[in-house]
Amino acid sequence: MAFEDVVIERNLNKWNVLVASLIAGFDKLGVLSQAVVNKDMEVVADKLARFFKVKGNVPQVDSSSSFEENMKRIIEFIDRELELAGESSVTLEGENVTFEVVGNTCHFCPKGVGEAELPGTACPYPSLLMNFANKFLPEDQQVEVVLQDRNYLKKEGGKCRIIFRRKS
């Protein structure tokens, strides 16, 4: 699909293109991988958390709510504030919290938007969401990403799925 068609189909804005292309640019240098993106998103998550605190706009979490409810609120907050995708969902499955994005509506995909050409994934969401959440969750509710077939996300049926759980 031509880039121009991707812009229209995914309803992208200039910031979506900027971020996805910036991440994808590491592919041209031969250094793009999920590991590189994960490390970078640690810094991005910290800056975003600090930004939202300065602006007085933070996710509503508290220690009297369950981990699953707090995590759901955080993901919905960051999805709403950054407009991660046109179609996404957050579901609670036992002690896991699952974030799913309809792949062709993702606004920051380094491959689908930024046109990176690499095997595997370079998704910013697993590390971004985990590290951002850990800035706001109570100490006893810190989160980690659940590996799926040794990957941070699983692509299946046109969707990208990321699963989170409380750190043990």
Looking at residue 118, its pLDDT comes to 87
85-122 pLDDT, tens digit per residue, is 999 999 999 899 999 999 999 999 999 999 999 888 99
CA 41, CA 31: separation in Å to the nearest integer? 15
CA 157, CA 164: separation in Å to the nearest integer? 20
CB-facing half-sphere around the CA of 68: CA atoms within 13 A: 10
| pLDDT at position 138 over 90 | yes
CA 44, CA 124: separation in Å to the nearest integer? 10
pLDDT confidence band for 159 (50 / 70 / 90): very high
Residues sharing a CB contact under 8 Å with residue 38, sequence separation 6 or more, in sequence order: 126, 127, 152
Distances (CA, A) of 122 to 34, 50, 128: 4, 24, 12
pLDDT confidence band for 168 (50 / 70 / 90): confident
Quote the number of domains for the chain.
1
Q: Are 159 and 88 in contact (CB under 8 A)?
A: no
Q: Residue 107 phi/psi, 5° resolution?
A: -90, -15
Q: Which domain holds residue 13?
A: 3-166
Q: What percent of the chain has pLDDT over 90?
A: 95
Looking at residue 8, its pLDDT comes to 96
55-94 pLDDT, tens digit per residue, is 999 999 999 999 999 999 999 999 999 999 999 999 999 8
Q: Are 166 and 139 in contact (CB under 8 A)?
A: no
Task: Write down the pTM of the prediction.
Answer: 0.94
> DSSP H helical segments within 55-140, as ranges?
67-82, 125-136
CATH value at residue 20: 3.30.1380.20
Q: Are 101 and 34 in contact (CB under 8 A)?
A: no
CA 37, CA 86: separation in Å to the nearest integer? 22
